[in-house]
Chain A
Amino acid sequence: MKITDRFSKGEFVVTAEVGPPKGFHVDELVAEAKEYLSDIDAVNVTDNQSSVMRLSSLGFCKALKDAGLNPIFQLTCRDRNRMALESDLLAAALFGIDNVLCLTGDHTKLGDHPGAKPVFDLDSVSLLHTVRELERGVDLGGNELVGEPPVFAKGAVVSPCSDSVDAQLAKMERKVMAGTEFFQTQAVFDPERFISFMEKAKQFGVPVQVGVIIPKNVGMVRYMSQNVAGIVVPDSIIDELKADKEKTKAGVTGVEIAARIIRECRPYCQGVHIMALGWEAKVPEILKLAGI
């Protein structure tokens, strides 16, 4: 089910994210996803996230699809050249996976195979362009595909709280130009920054889902704020997590904060993308609290 259909109906689109395991035993993860993520619009499957080798995104997408969920196939340019990317996209079409999120990908040096060759034959923009070319029935080499071309809902990412907003907007524009139909954002902890970003981003007329990470504890948010690109955590959130240690430990504070961010951002965007990072079980609770 193309997620773009939801946007065009004017719905507030909800997605969440799961990471495939380092191994091929997926039953538990699929069961968990089924239990907690069945009611949302789609589930992103990460592609060797943080350059750590795992089960392929496509393989896990297939497993979710078979279990009745609606997967979004995340595809990075780090590990495959243009030919491998194109053939994986065709395989996705074969499996009926019709949502794809195109990313550049983290550098190989950051992960668990630092000696691997960083490919980056394409990048997020040219990958989106490639998807569009396939949809036109031709590959990047200019050769025609046999039979009906595939159709995807094409997504991309953007960092609204980046320290270089102008560069982000420029890149966003290029992604729109290359055919992006929806955006998911890097995690937002400061709705005000997000809102002022959206003031500028709305000109593109492409739906945006605000990205939300459940803040688990002070150490985690501090680390992200200092080290993760595009993430800024205001002191007020850190104070809030500090205030009642027991409550934070139980996950209640994080759920409250996540739900509040969604509520505050909702009037300015078209959906939410929740990165639960292992706390998938809390997703229904957050959505309830956020009034969705």
Chain B
Amino acid sequence: MLNYTKYKLKSDKELTPFLKETDNIFVVACNKCFKEFESVDEPDCAEFVKMAEEHGKTVTGSVRVDFLCNKIQTMKDLDIPEGTDNIFVVSCGLGVQTIADSVNVPVFAAANSLNYRGHHGMALTSKACDACAQCFLNITGGICPVVDCSKSLLNGQCGGAKNGKCEVDPTRDCAWEKIEQRLAKQGRLKEFLDQPVQLRDYSKVNYKAISEFVKTARESRLDGYYGGVHPSERKEMSEDISLVRFPEPDTVVIPLSMHSGAPANPLVEAGDKVKVGQKIGEAAAFISGNVHSSVSGTVLAVEPRPHPTRGGGVLSVVIQNDKQNEIADSVKPYGDIDELTPEQIVDIVKESGIVGMGGAGFPTSVKLAPNKPIDAVILNGCECEPMLTADHRVLLEYADDVIYGLRAMMKAVSAPKGIIAIEDNKPDAIELLQAKAEGIDGIEVVGVRTKYPQGAEKMLIKRILGRQVPSGGLPADVGAVVCNVSTSKAVADAIKTGMPLVERVVTVTGERIKNPGNFIVKIGTPIKELIDYCGGVTADDITIKTGGPMMGIELTDTDVPVIKATNGIIACDKDHFETLSCIKCGRCVDVCPMELKPLYFAKYHDESNWQGMLDMNVRDCIECRSCEYICSSKIPLVAKIKAGKSAIMEMNRK
């Protein structure tokens, strides 16, 4: 594989004048740059330290930093020892400037930066682009005259070529001869000859525009929290489609495990008659959840069934729907928030089987019973996953309920503040909620700039409150509770009507769903029925996922039920990629919102180095898939990370 590492240690001769006048040297070496990821540490650091010592210099220490040009990460790794008078940096000019920008001692470059002419691209190929800002490829048959011709001529060859080779380098083909051959092959020679005379416009490389671009790009990159990505939103397929109640399913399959923690214990058996809202599963532990029937009818079986996110064999209650929608006697309004105590609210939430509906399924009642003071409840209306519009529709069509639920949760945890965070790609929801929340004490609606994975708790807290949840910690550690807006609506329903969590809003979308839509769906409805109802899929070679394209889980079998956390079903064209070697491009490090270094996870996974993964804090990974999304080598990072996490659990168990 090619090596585009952009620096090369200067020679002893070049460095001697600078070593002569300096002492007490600290060495900072860049340790990652475009090149196949083979060894963890590059040798240049040690080479320079040796050189300095041979000159009789005191070296106060040295540090290897991955991607020195990534200033934020670099600053975390930089600890300059006492007694350092000078710093020598082994890196390209970007790394040297990063350090020089941040310290008050003289900084020296121990390396020269290499210019692989015109190579600004990503993949380590021989194709190069000089970024001239006026692409000439359209008249040259796709061969770049600026890079491939030694003289960057635009109007044909210079006449200096001999035997088809360039006058500057006899091993190199004359670019213009290549261009003419290519054009001849395409029958475009005349077209080329008819072109007007081409002139370079050097004012097009306008660094003023570029510096403005850099400013805005940096702002959007670093907006709110480190990292994150901006995948194509593609929400237009379903965002304007109003909620429709999905037709009654004939049979529902309700898993007893739709939450994190222990599965619920079944309360019914085959042959039992059940009603809507009747408890059919009892929470089995502190972290667990009650399960209720979403239909009235007869229990056909209590048996293991395939589960949308956990694979086959999860104990489920299968119910024949009599479509009478008889409501259970236990379903009665609990009264108004003002009459309820915080403990009563938590009990209602617990009794109603409410769990996080954004995807994770963590029991909401547990969140509402922290042993730490909470000052803010944040309602997560980001819906940062591309394509999904379920929360968006809930915000638009149940705004009052969402606010009601928030008020209840604020009371439950005695939080003075309630913040509804909505991404700015939903201006209608922001406007509506702002109008609805006006005059309600303590409630604020905040529009936040779109960036995935903003809906992840830790990111949202950082963005909204500027607080950093510690590694391994929970939102409550920084005085916050984060809940999804659909969860809030479920809380409102439970209090106002007594109806537990038996239905939810699901988006069915994707370029391969015939008629996308947003539906109110009973828990336990087969996903297959949803897809069929929407006209089915329009191609064979597709991927169906439950959830969004980023964090959703691929379904090989659609005969699985909608569960409490099912926010969407998507059908998209399948991606076909070959995994290539890691080229140490650093993009995964740049986008990881948890500020981890995912490239190490891939390497250590392949070497079964679980301790290495643990040391690189793999357990902090939230599996948002930003790294995999940005990976230029298409490495399945999340699968490797998940495998690593299980191996570490296994290792710790032993």
Contact = CB atoms under 8 A, between A and B. Distances in A.
Are A and B physically bound partners? yes
Contacts, number: 15
Contacts of B199: 115
Nearest to A116: B202
Contacts of B202: 108, 115-118
B652 interface: no
B196 to A, nearest CB: 15
Interface string B196-208: 0001111110000
B197 to A, nearest CB: 14
Interface string A134-174: 00000000000000000000000000000000000000000
Contacts of B200: 115, 117
A89 to B, nearest CB: 25
A217 to B, nearest CB: 32
Contacts of A114: 203
A22 interface: no
Interface in A87-128: 108-109, 114-118
A136 to B, nearest CB: 24
Nearest to A118: B202
Nearest to A114: B203
A118 B200 CA distance: 12
Nearest to B206: A109
A83 to B, nearest CB: 15
B206 to A, nearest CB: 9
A77 B322 CA distance: 90
A276 B182 CA distance: 58
A48 to B, nearest CB: 16
Contacts of A108: 202-203
Contacts of A115: 199-204
A17 B22 CA distance: 48
Nearest to A109: B203
A253 B204 CA distance: 44
A278 to B, nearest CB: 29
Interface centre among B199, B200, B203 (most CB of A within 10 A): B203
Interface in B188-237: 199-204
A108 B200 CA distance: 14
A82 B199 CA distance: 23
A109 B199 CA distance: 16
A118 B199 CA distance: 14
Nearest to A117: B202
B131 to A, nearest CB: 15
A50 to B, nearest CB: 16
B210 to A, nearest CB: 14
A108 B204 CA distance: 12
Interface string B509-524: 0000000000000000
A52 to B, nearest CB: 15
Contacts of B203: 108-109, 114-116
A89 B184 CA distance: 46
A78 to B, nearest CB: 12
A25 to B, nearest CB: 28
A122 to B, nearest CB: 18
Contacts of A118: 202
A117 B199 CA distance: 11
A79 to B, nearest CB: 12
B208 to A, nearest CB: 9
Nearest to B208: A109
Contacts of A109: 203
Interface string A239-259: 000000000000000000000
A116 B199 CA distance: 9
Nearest to B134: A115
A80 to B, nearest CB: 15
Contacts of A116: 202-203
Interface centre among A108, A109, A118 (most CB of B within 10 A): A109
Interface in B152-194: none
Interface in B501-538: none
Nearest to B201: A115
Nearest to B207: A109
Nearest to B204: A115
A123 B200 CA distance: 23
Contacts of A117: 200, 202
A217 B200 CA distance: 40
A116 B202 CA distance: 6
B150 to A, nearest CB: 15
Contacts of B204: 115
A175 to B, nearest CB: 23
A116 B203 CA distance: 7
A117 to B, nearest CB: 4
Interface centre among A108, A116, A118 (most CB of B within 10 A): A116
A105 to B, nearest CB: 15
Contacts of B201: 115
A109 B202 CA distance: 9
A253 B201 CA distance: 45
A108 B202 CA distance: 9
Interface in A226-280: none
A196 B155 CA distance: 56
A117 B202 CA distance: 5
Interface in B380-409: none
A119 to B, nearest CB: 10
B205 to A, nearest CB: 10
A109 B204 CA distance: 10
A115 B200 CA distance: 7
B268 to A, nearest CB: 79
A273 B201 CA distance: 37
A137 B420 CA distance: 78
A116 B204 CA distance: 10
A60 B10 CA distance: 47
A109 B201 CA distance: 11
A133 B605 CA distance: 62
Nearest to B199: A115
B145 to A, nearest CB: 16
A19 to B, nearest CB: 24
A91 to B, nearest CB: 25
A95 B368 CA distance: 92
A109 B203 CA distance: 7
Given A115-B201, A115-B204, 4 more contacts: A115-B199, A115-B200, A116-B202, A118-B202
Sorted nearest first, the 6 A-B pairs with minimum C-beta distance are A115-B201, A114-B203, A117-B202, A115-B203, A109-B203, A115-B202
6 contacts: A108-B202, A108-B203, A114-B203, A115-B199, A115-B201, A115-B203
Interface of B: 199-204
